[in-house]
Amino acid sequence: MKIAVDAMGSDSSPDVEVEGAVQASLNSNIHVILVGDEALLNKKLGGYARRGQISIRPATQCIGMHEQPVMAVRNKKNSSLLVAMRLVKEGEAAAVVSAGNTGAVMVGARTVLGPIRGVARSAISQTLPTIRGRVVMLDLGANVDCTTRQLCEFAEMGIAYSRYALRVESPRVGLLNIGEEGQKGGAVAREVHQTLSQAKHMNFVGNIEPKALYEGKADVVVCDGFIGNLFLKTSEAAAYFMGKMLREQFESTSMSKIGAVLAGKALRELKQRVDPNEYHGAPLLGINGTVIILHGASTARGVENAIYGAKIAVDNQLNDHIRENINRLRQHEMVTPPLDEPVEDD
């Protein structure tokens, strides 16, 4: 399998992309296509005695983190991101991984690869740790405002990812809200709760609060991109704050320092469990192609795991299952009151 990596996207490009690609290829049968500055990539690869199956596809431009996504995609046709996208479009690669400008990745994916038929909006998803295991959450920033239909589509896409990429047999679906009661939240949230409650093909567990999310009471959690992104950044900030407080406490006295040494193994395991670089990136669901988004500050380990995640999605025909689930949503609509907008078939 060939997977394209936008090698010029991250904050530390192309070092982390090259190292992650080399490790992924050495540890699997994946052929990684690094897309970017050919001379620079050859120089970086020259530092590895063993590199697995790695090839380079030249691209003369790159899209910066602070560029306006629509204009960047329009004006930089030969950017590493768009060249990687076209490799997927033309069948030369099965998936694309990028730690670049998230907005540009979304615009480029929709422009080059197009949406899955029946999906009005693509959604950024991410796997998060919980007390009981893992939860898939979407959307995390692709769509600030969402309609009832779009949130229902997110639920169907999240179910497909949970079932076929994470191997959860019957994913429990929750709607992130300020309370468990069905009448909580705004008009859209109440409509989504009513619609999903009536969907007999879905294991909908109702509204779910943030605490319940981390307790593992759902396998898929749906929300609009504004709420999802705010939730994610708040969680990251809280984790940073608690980590800093813990380090300061361990360094406060001699006995605390001894305690830190004794607790070292447990603390390292905890750090690994919550480290986003240990997960398979953030799949952009609803696109005619497999696209994995990474944070700009991702490490080589994060790139490596995202490549594995892309392979899992392709091997398990994730997009075919998303199409099946969207069709189930349509069938459900035929026997329930219509949602708020017609389905796009572009």
Structure confidence at residue 328 (pLDDT): 86
How many C-beta atoms lie closer than 10 Å to residue 340's C-beta?
11
Distant-in-sequence, close-in-space partners of 275: CB < 8 Å, separation ≥ 6: none
What average pLDDT does the segment 194-217 reach? 94
At residue 334 the predicted structure's pLDDT band, cuts being 50, 70 and 90, is low
Please state, for a pLDDT cut of 70, what percent of the chain lies above it: 93
Token digits for 6? 């936008």
Q: Would you tell me which CATH number, out of the four given (3.10.20.600, 3.50.50.60, 3.40.718.10, 1.10.150.20), belongs to the domain 2-114+287-315?
A: 3.40.718.10
Percent of the chain at pLDDT above 90?
Answer: 75
Taking alpha carbons only, the member of 227, 223, 222, 133 closest to residue 173 is: 222
CA atoms within 13 A on the CB side of 81: 33
Name the burial class of residue 197, with classes exposed (0-12), middle (13-18) and buried (19+) by CB atoms within 10 angstroms of its CB.
middle
The confidence score (pLDDT) of residue 97 equals 98
210: preceding bond cis by omega (within 30 degrees): no
Q: How far is CA 272 from CA 82, 135, 199, 254, 279, in A?
A: 33, 16, 37, 26, 10
**Does the pLDDT of residue 337 top 70, yes or no?**
no
Half-sphere exposure for 190 (CA within 13 Å, toward CB): 5
User: For position 251, what pLDDT does the model report?
Assistant: 82
Q: For residue 338, what pLDDT is reported?
A: 53
Q: Which amino acid is at 71?
A: M
Contact 124, 319 (CB under 8 A): no
pTM of the model: 0.89
Q: Is the peptide bond before 139 cis (omega within 30 degrees of 0)?
A: yes
CA distance 285 to 125: 7
Least confident of 74-88, 303-317, 327-341: 327-341
User: Is residue 52 scored above 70 in pLDDT?
Assistant: yes
Exposed, middle or buried: residue 234 (CB in 10 Å: 0-12, 13-18, 19+)? Answer: exposed
**Domains in the chain: boundaries:** 2-114+287-315, 126-275+321-334
CATH code for residues 126-275+321-334: 3.40.718.10
- pLDDT of residue 342 exceeding 80: no
As a whole number of angstroms, the distance between CA 120 and CA 334 comes to 18
Instruction: Point out the least confidently predicted range of 139-148, 179-188, 233-242, 264-273.
Output: 264-273
pLDDT confidence bin for 136, thresholds 50/70/90: very high
- Do 2-114+287-315 and 126-275+321-334 share a fold? yes
Confidence at 115, pLDDT banded by 50, 70, 90:
very high
